């Protein structure tokens, strides 16, 4: 019988939870070498949460050494493909069977609704591990054309030790996007999760080990970016950094790579994605897409549709519809309420930053249509209601900065050329969308939006089969799809001469 998920059910799961906060290195839990710890504050109510090891360069050294040893020994990379696949599939199943626990760890750390954690984040993490596990025994190398007396093999080989640095907004999903292909390709990994969202990462590594992933292949070092992330990115024995986070830190990561061993980097960075609505669009569909596209996960989504570029003649009607969807469908509630659709922001400092950006926008003359205020402060948690500002121009701060909160900036336009110019007038290029019933225009326009993903008459649809990532200052390199494997490999030629 299906479990009935009530608030009381989840309160009970929470009361029985004993989160693990130590590093996971070489198949074992370890305190930080320095003995230092830090306490996570729960976004849902502002109370102290888990205590975590505060890693530094010494812990990174230990983890990288374990990862290197595992790689060089061949204990994972030389394993029979079928056996490797079985381990990855077991890992995916363990993630699913520990779904409620993982969902609670995620909600505790990041404040998202518990059923979103369970039905979206845990599910997509397991699906990602499974997707890449299934690829392991289906990847072929090449034989290059040569003369008759030679044979040239072009082998796709793993890079070695991968440093993965991840953000707090979709921790398990993004970790699945990185760990899946990196490990399937035969690499070892040292993962430094965001300091706000380490609990699920530690548990994922424990479950991988339980599934049969050899010690040292997946290591997790918790801690702060400057203290644990920077030493990882600067490490001379790390072959690549797979980073997801802000553009600001992404630039530091490129610098660290250049200052150390010219390691490769792949960067998934910020966004300010346009959703363009023409006057002939299905406005109900556009309103639902704009509201969910911007407000899901409390706007803490890199590809959130934060700029609504709307034909002036339909702006008022569209905003009314967006308000209806927001008020009727997108329930902002305590994250343990099963009916919550959105929950808390990540931390007090971030909430204050979002509120400051809203205030600065209003000072510049942005007109509030509804929402965008602190709410539920009596809970002690960090909540902002979804809100829309209208009649903006694209040079205003609400239209330019990545707010990472539930704030939608509506910018009216009069002509198609103007809409395209506004859509592309951003330093980012992660995603975009166009709503119109004119399919010629839809295709013409979607080709011209400079972004890694463009949707037509929808938003945020995707699957593991489609690559995800950005252009411009949204970064480079792609997560998801068969192409993600390439990031964690390189080509090696083996030329054999006969006779
Ligand atoms: P962030 O501040 O850039 O942090 C990302 C990661 O980098 C965290 O693990 C952080 O550690 C670490 N870090 C911070 N400073 C570092 C340093 N000097 N050296 C090495 N590592 C360092 O980003 P965030 O606030 O967690 O996440 C929000 C950002 O991520 C937004 O800009 C969003 O658009 C972007 N994002 C992009 C995608 C995408 O696919 N394009 C997906 C999700 C999020 P600590 O947190 O422990 O300090």
**Segment 300-346, tens digit of pLDDT:** 999 999 999 999 999 999 999 999 999 999 999 999 999 999 999 99
| Nearest Cα residue to atom 23 of ligand 1 | 245
Predicted confidence at residue 462, as pLDDT, reads 94
Beta bridge partners of 453: 431
**Three-state SS string across 42-70, please?**
CCCCCCEEEEEECCCHHHHHHHHHHHHHH
Span from the CA of 372 to the centroid of ligand 1 (angstroms) = 24
In this structure, how many other beta carbons lie within 10 angstroms of the beta carbon of residue 328?
9
Rounded-to-integer distance, Cα 396 and Cα 411, Å? 10
Record the tokens describing residue 465, joined without a space: 């089969």
Residue keyed to tokens 């970016």: 225
Residues having CB closer than 6 A to ligand 1 are 165-169, 174, 192, 194-195, 224-226, 229-230, 233, 244-246, 249, 252, 268-271, 302, 402, 404, 430, 470, 474-475
Examine the pLDDT at 349 and tell me if it is beyond 90: yes
Of 83, 179, 191, the C-alpha closest to 132 is: 179
Q: How far apart are CA 356 and CA 335, in angstroms?
A: 24
CA of 492 to the centre of ligand 1 (A): 32
* Four-CA torsion 396, 397, 401, 406, nearest 10 degrees: -100
Superfamily name with CATH number, domain 7-269+475-493: Aldehyde Dehydrogenase; Chain A, domain 1 (3.40.605.10)
- Residue nearest to ligand 1 atom 48, measured at CA: 225
Protein residue whose Cα sits closest to atom 15 of ligand 1: 225
The question of whether 302 is a catalytic residue gets the answer yes
Known active-site residue 364? no
- Of 32, 125, 225, the residue with max ligand 1 atoms within 8 A of its CB, to mutate for a pocket test, comes to 225
Q: What is the pLDDT of residues 470-483, one digit of tens each?
A: 999 999 999 999 99
Residue located nearest, by CA, to atom 32 of ligand 1: 246
- Residue 183 Cα to ligand 1 midpoint, Å, equals 22
In the set 300, 302, 347, 402, the catalytic residue is 302
- pTM, full prediction: 0.98
For position 2, what pLDDT does the model report?
Answer: 81
Which CATH superfamily includes the segment(s) 274-463? Aldehyde Dehydrogenase; Chain A, domain 2 (3.40.309.10)
**pLDDT (tens digit per residue) in 386-442:** 999 999 999 999 999 999 999 999 999 999 999 999 999 999 999 999 999 999 999
Q: How far is the CA of 410 from the centre of ligand 1 (A)?
A: 27
The domain segmentation of the chain, as residue ranges, is: 7-269+475-493, 274-463
- pLDDT tier for residue 379 given thresholds of 50, 70 and 90: very high
Look up tokens 């694209």; give the residue. Answer: 394
Q: 485: CA distance to ligand 1 center in Å?
A: 22
Q: Of 167, 178, 302, 487, which is best to mutate to test ligand 1, by the most ligand atoms within 8 angstroms of its C-beta? A: 167
Minimum-distance ligand 1 atom for the alpha carbon of 404 = 31
pLDDT in tens, 225-260: 999 999 999 999 999 999 999 999 999 999 999 999
CA-proximal residue: ligand 1, atom 26 (nearest): 167
**Dihedrals phi, psi of 370, to nearest 5 degrees:** -170, 160
Compute the distance between CA of residue 403 and CA of residue 396 in angstroms, rounded to an integer: 13
Q: What is the mean pLDDT of the chain?
A: 98
Which residue among 268, 300, 323, 337 is the active-site one? 268
């Amino acid at each position: 019988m299906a479990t009935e998920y009530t608030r009381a059910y989840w309160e009970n799961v929470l009361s029985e939870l004993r989160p693990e906060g130590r590093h996971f290195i070489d198949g074992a839990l370890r305190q930080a070498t320095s003995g230092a710890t830090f306490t996570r504050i729960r976004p849902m109510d502002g109370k102290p949460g888990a205590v975590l090891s505060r890693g530094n360069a010494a812990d990174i050294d230990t983890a990288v050494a374990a990862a290197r040893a595992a790689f060089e020994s061949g204990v994972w990379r030389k394993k029979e493909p079928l056996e490797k696949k079985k381990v990855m599939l077991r890992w995916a199943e363990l993630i699913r069977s520990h779904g409620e626990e993982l969902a609670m760890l995620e909600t505790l750390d990041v404040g998202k609704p518990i059923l979103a954690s369970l039905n979206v984040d845990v599910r997509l993490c397991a699906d990602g591990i499974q997707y890449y596990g299934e690829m392991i025994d289906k990847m072929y190398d090449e034989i290059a054309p040569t003369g008759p007396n030679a044979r040239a093999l072009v082998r796709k080989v793993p890079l070695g030790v991968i440093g993965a640095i991840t953000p707090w907004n979709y921790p398990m999903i993004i970790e699945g996007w990185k760990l899946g292909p990196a490990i399937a390709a035969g690499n070892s990994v040292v993962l430094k999760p965001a300091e706000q969202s380490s609990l699920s990462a530690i548990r994922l590594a424990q479950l991988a080990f339980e599934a049969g992933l050899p010690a040292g292949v997946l290591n997790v070092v918790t801690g702060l970016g400057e203290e644990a992330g920077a030493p990882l990115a600067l490490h001379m024995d790390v072959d690549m950094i797979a980073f997801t986070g802000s553009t600001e830190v992404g630039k530091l990561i490129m610098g660290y790579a250049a200052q150390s061993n010219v390691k490769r980097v792949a960067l998934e960075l910020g966004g300010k994605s346009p959703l363009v609505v023409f006057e002939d669009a299905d406005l109900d569909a556009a309103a639902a897409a704009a509201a969910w596209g911007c407000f899901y996960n409390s706007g803490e989504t890199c590809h959130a549709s934060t700029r609504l570029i709307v034909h002036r003649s339909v702006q008022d009607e569209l905003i009314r519809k967006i308000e209806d969807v927001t008020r009727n469908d997108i329930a902002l509630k305590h994250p343990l309420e099963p009916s919550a659709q959105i929950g808390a922001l990540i931390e007090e400092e971030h909430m204050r930053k979002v509120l400051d950006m809203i205030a600065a926008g209003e000072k510049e003359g942005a007109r509030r249509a509804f929402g965008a205020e602190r709410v539920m402060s009596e809970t002690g948690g960090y909540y902002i209601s979804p809100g829309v500002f209208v009649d903006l121009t694209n040079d205003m701060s609400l239209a330019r900065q990545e707010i990472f909160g539930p704030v939608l900036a509506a910018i009216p336009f009069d002509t198609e050329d103007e809409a395209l110019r506004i859509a592309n007038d951003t330093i980012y290029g992660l995603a975009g969308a166009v709503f119109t019933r004119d399919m010629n225009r839809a295709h013409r326009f979607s080709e011209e939006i400079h972004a890694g993903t463009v949707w037509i008459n929808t938003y945020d649809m995707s699957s593991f089969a489609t690559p995800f990532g950005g252009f411009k200052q949204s970064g480079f390199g792609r997560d998801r799809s068969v192409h993600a494997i390439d990031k964690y490999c390189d080509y090696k030629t083996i030329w054999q001469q006969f006779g």
